[in-house]
Structure 1
Amino acid sequence: MDNRAMSTAPVDILHADDSLILCNKPAGMLAVPGRGPTKQDCLISRVQWLHADALIVHRLDMATSGLLLLALGAEMQRRLSRAFAERRVQKRYVAVVHGLLAEPGSDWAHIDLPVGADWPNRPRQQVCHVNGKPSQTRYRCLAQDRLGQTSRVELEPVTGRTHQLRVHLQALGHPIVGDALYADRQDLAPRLYLHATELALHHPVTGAALQFSSAAPF
Structure 2
Amino acid sequence: MTVTRTVSATLINMTVVDHQTKHYELVKDTADYIVIDKRPGVNLHRNNTKQSLVDILNADFPGESLHLVHRLDDATSGLLVLAKNPVAAAEFGALFANREVEKYYLAVADGKPGKKQGAVVGDIKKSRSGSYLLSRTRSNPSLTQFFSYSLGEGRRAYLLKPYTGKTHQLRVVMKSLGVPIFGDRRYGPTIQDSDRMYLHATALRFTFRGEEREYISLPKEGQLFADGGLAAALLDCQTPWALPWPSLN
Count of aligned pairs: 199
Which consecutive unaligned segments of at least 5 residues does structure 2 have?
A: 1-20, 226-249
Once the two structures are superposed, what CA deviation does each residue of 1:138-195 show, in whole Å capped at 9, x if it has no partner? 0001x21332x11001000011101000001101101100001001234221110000
TM-score where L is the length of structure 2 = 0.74
Aligned-residue sequence identity (percent) comes to 29
Mapped pair 1:33 → 2:46: yes
RCO higher in 1 or 2 (8 Å CA, sep ≥ 6)? 2
TM-score where L is the length of structure 1 = 0.84
The residue number in structure 2 matching 1:42 is 52
Mapped pair 1:140 → 2:153: no
Shift of 1:40: 3.7
The residue number in structure 1 matching 2:246 is none
Once the two structures are superposed, what CA deviation does each residue of 1:12-32 show, in whole Å capped at 9, x if it has no partner? 111011111000000000122
Aligned-CA RMSD value: 2.1
- Residues 153-164 of structure 1 correspond to what in structure 2 (within 5 A)? 153-164=158-169
The residue number in structure 2 matching 1:58 is 70
Mapped pair 1:121 → 2:119: no
The one-letter amino acid of 1:190's match is D
Q: Counterparts of 1:21 and 1:45 in 2: how far apart (Å)?
A: 15
- Residues 82-121 of structure 1 correspond to what in structure 2 (within 5 A)? 82-101=94-113, 108-118=117-127, 120-121=128-129
Mapped pair 1:16 → 2:24: no
4+ aligned runs moved over 6 Å, structure 1: none
Shift of 1:90: 0.4
Relative to structure 1, is the Cα distance of residues 177 and 81 closer, same or farther in structure 2, using a 3 angstrom cutoff?
Answer: same
Query: Secondary structure of 1:12's match?
Result: strand
